[in-house]
Structures are given as structure tokens and as C-alpha cells.
Structure 1
Amino acid sequence: MARMPQSYSMNAPYGPRFSLPPTPPVRPGTGGRGAGKDRTMATVGQLLLDIRNPALRENALLLLSKRKDIFQDLAPLLWNSFETITTILQEIVSIYPVLSKNTLDSGSSNRVCNALALLQSVASHSETRIPFLNAHIPLYLYPFLMTTNKTKPYEYLRLTSLGVIGSLVKNDDTEVISFLLQTEIVPLCLRTMEIGSELSKTVEYRIS
């Protein structure tokens, strides 16, 4: 069974501990780009709050993962909002026990992939990339890269995890490269190339 890195504590969220400020309501009849941005901020702010609610978390992860490419400031909000990164990591480690039993289903895989997609947003942003690395969060992805099951739920986890690593290395940051070379990422990529799909093999080749 894969283990959580010992340096991480679920009771110590990463980033500054503050909550999102309330977003002013958009007045009826106002329009234009500013009003649209206000509505987006209000929606994203509510979804970040929903992540902390177990009953609303799955839907919030899904909707935020869909918005990650259209809202440029999502990564700093994810990193700095209270308990958000902690909750995302809880989602990730929650399926560790399932991995070795080969009982991962599509629903659980999709939910964790949505969480990983948010980490990809944090990994790719210039303001959050190095703090993300310094927190050693990439280590939480390695159990997914170590799986050998060839079914789609496992393949999706491997591919989405590789997307996070790919977002880290795309700018050729020497600090990122140095960190990854000191870990098991290259051997894991070479290992998973033997069992992954053509798409995942392509991503792994670019990383390694």
C-alpha cells in the first residue's frame, strides 16, 4: 500500500491561512467584461467554499476543473484560500488503499482526476509553481505512476498525474528539474512507458 509522505500533516494547510473575501454582488442591468469577471469570481469563490463541504465537494471539484483554463487567477486562489490544498490532497490520498487492490472504479478515478487537474493549474502558474514544489506535493502523485493496472480508471490517473508533472517542467525551470532528478520520477516514467497508452507514453517521453 502506498504511504503518505511523512513531511505532510493534514492539519497544516499549505499557503497563507485566509478565507476568500466576499465578492460584491453584480447589480442588475450592468454588463460588459467587468460584470462577467465579477460573476466568475463569485462562482469560483463559492466553489472553493464548497470544496470544504464533503456533500458538495465532488461537484465543486468537477466544476472548478472545467474552469481552470478560463480563469487565469484560479491557481493563486486555490493555493491561498483556507484549507483548499489540504482538502485536495485528502481526496488524492483517500484512494491510496484502493490502488493495490485493483478495485478502483471510474467514479473514484474521475473524482481524483478532477482534483489532480486543479493541482496541474497550481503547478503551471508562475506565482504558485515554486511553493507547490517546495511543499513536495509532486510526491503525492507517485503512487499513481507506480500502478500497473491497464484499465481505464488507472490509466486516467497516470495520465492526469503526468499532466501535473508536465506543467512543472514545461518552462525548463532549473529548480524544478533539480527537484525531479532527485526523486523517482524518471524511473517511474520509463517504467510506465511499458504499460501505458500511446498518449501517456508520449507525455512520459517528453518528461523523461
Structure 2
Amino acid sequence: MANLPDSLYEDYSSYKLTWSPASAFAPTTTILPFPDMNTIIQWIKDLHNEIPFISDFALQNLVTHRNTYEILPLLLWKSPSTVTMMLQEIVKIYPHILRPVHSQDGTPPRAYNILLLFQCIADHPVTRGYFLKAEMPHYLFPLVNIDLTDKPLECLRLGALGVLAHMLKAPIDGAAVSFLMDNGALNYCNKAIDIGSLESKTVAVFILNKILSTDEGLQYCCLLADRFFVIDSLLKKVLMYLSSMTNPCPSLFNLVAGCYAKLSQKSRARKWLWRVPPLMLLNGTFANLLAEDPDAANYRKQLILNMRSMVMN
């Protein structure tokens, strides 16, 4: 399956949540269109400035240009105390995730922009290694695990999920897969799928799909019955959610179908799938989506063929 568009798991400010980080900044804040390297370096230094406007101006510009300069993740990582400051901004938001956030000013949008910078750090093949070695995703798990669904907090959930998703962008890093499996990524995906927005659910299933795309991830998820049934339960929740939508999301459905096709590659998983099949994927519930998405239809066909092999054997 082709990678999802970057915008789906990278920058959520344009989605239905209508939570724009820029809303927190003064009207005079401007985005410079073509900064040179000296300007980028100065913005990184300005992140530490005690004057809020200067710091916020630098942060917003770095976020805007984070995909323009491949060296930005290395500059952020190597800059003295910058990553420490970014982590402090994440920790500062923890008290706010225990209650609804009604205001669109203050800490939440700044933490969201910090998460966008962490996404480019998690994406870069060099800084990703540093990021994992320092076990920094642990600082993001509380944001994925938020129990509330109001829009500012949901954006924080999406931003944190986006960092995890960037850890798994192609080519997939085996160390990133192992880290997520060893540290309960499935449980955090569960929370996002249970109460998260459509975008949150999609990114959570994207993470699961990427894990299942690797030999070690597939082996891990199918090794024990408990793990398989947790995943099966998650995917069936998503199918139920999709079936309740007037216009089901094609990309989310494609990811779910891909997950089941991957699971069916393992003989142990096929045995369990034969016992508790994903009926809504096999019957006519999503006939329209299958007709419009050849890839999803192929995943379904592969799932059926693999399940039938149980009878033939």
C-alpha cells in the first residue's frame, strides 16, 4: 500500500478540528517566505528567548519551514538545550490534559507546534535514532492517552500520534517498530480508536498497519492469542465506526483491509480469523468502497484466499 499523504499524519491544523496554531499569535506575526540558513539558526536560538512574541515568532516560522530544510532536525538536535526546552514545553501541558481546554490561547497551541517539530526529528533517519535512544516517545504517550475529546486536546493527541507515525515512514526502521511494540503502542492506539476523531483513528490504524508491514511486527502481533485478539478488536471497532458513517472514509477503510490481509499471512492468525472473521469486511457492508478502491478489494481477496487455505489444509 502506498504511503498516506503526509498531511494526514503530519499537520492537522487544516482538518475539521479547525484548531490553528497560528490563532494564538499576535496579528503582527508574519511568516518569512524564503529564509536563509542564518535565519533558520537565529530562529532556533530565539526559541529560548524569554520574550514570548520573539519565541512564538521563531517557533511558528520553524514549523512553517520544517519540511523545506532537511538539515533542520539536526540543527534542532545539536543546538544546545533546544530539545530539552521542547520537552519542557510538552511536560508543561500535562496538567491541562486532565480537564477540558476552552481557551484558544496559551500553552496548547505552543505545545502543538512543538509536536510538529518533533515530527520532523522523528522522521529524519539520523535524529530518529537519537530520539529513540533517548526514549523520548515516552513523553508523548500521555498526550495520545488523553481521555477528553475537546478540539484543542484532540489536536494534541493528533500531533503526538503524528510523531509516532513519522517514526514509521518508509523505509521503516526496525528499531522504531521494536520500540513501539515493546512500549505498549497497541494500548495507545486503542485509546485513539475508542474516543479519537476520524483523523486520530486513521493515524492510529496507520501506525498499526506499518507495524504489521514488517516481519518482526507481524510476528509480534501474531505470537500470542491475546495480542491478536486485541488487534482484531481494534479493527472491528473501526469497521463498526465506518459502517455508522454516511460517507465512510476510504483511506481508513483501506488501512483496515490492509491490516487484515497482513494478519492473514500468518497461519496462527488465519486459524483465529477463521473462528472470528471480520464479517463486515467479507459481506456487502462496504461494497461501494470496495468497488471504488482496487487496493482494498485486493486486500479483501487476499484475506479470503488465505482463510480458505485453512479448509484446504
Question: Is the TM-score greater than 0.5?
Answer: yes
2:150 equivalent to 1:139: no
User: 1:28 — aligned with what?
Assistant: none
What do you get for the CA RMSD once the two structures are aligned? Answer: 1.6
State the match for 1:127 in structure 2: 126
Q: Partner residue of 2:40? A: 44
TM superposition score normalised by structure 2: 0.53
Percentage of identical aligned residues: 36
Contact 2:49–2:55 (8 Å) recurs in 1: yes
Match of 1:7 in 2: none
What is the identity, as a one-letter code, of the residue corresponding to 2:43?
Answer: L
Contact 2:99 2:148 (C-alpha < 8 Å) held by counterparts:
no
Structure 2: stretches of 5+ with no match in the other structure: 1-32, 209-313
Specify the code of the residue in structure 2 equivalent to 1:158: R
Query: 2: CA distance between counterparts of 1:120 and 1:78?
Result: 12
Report the number of matched residues: 172
Are the counterparts in 2 of residues 98 and 104 from structure 1 also a CA contact under 8 Å?
no
Residue 78 and residue 176 in structure 1: after superposition, are their counterparts in 2 closer, same or farther (change >3 A)?
A: same
Separation in 2, partners of 1:59, 1:205? 34
> If the length of structure 1 is used for normalisation, what is the TM-score?
0.78
Q: Which has the larger radius of gyration?
A: 2
Equivalent-residue separation in structure 2 for 1:93 and 1:175 (angstroms)? 25
Distance 1:109 1:75, change over 3 A: same
Unaligned runs of 5+ residues in structure 1 are 1-35
Within 1, Cα distance between the matches of 2:205 and 2:96?
A: 27
The answer to whether the Cα contact below 8 Å between 1:148 and 1:192 also exists between their aligned partners in 2 is no
Moved over 4 A (4+): none
Q: Give matches, 1:90-101, under 5 Å.
A: 90-101=88-99
Structure ranking higher in helix proportion: 2
Distance 1:114 1:40 in 2: 21
Give the alignment partner of residue 61 of structure 1, picking from 59, 62, 75.
59
- Look up the equivalent residue of 1:148 and give its one-letter code: D
Distance in 2, Cα, partners of 1:191 & 1:91: 23
Shifted more, 51-60 versus 151-160: the winner is 51-60
Matched with 1:23 is: none
In the alignment, structure 1 residue 164 sits paired with structure 2 residue 159: no
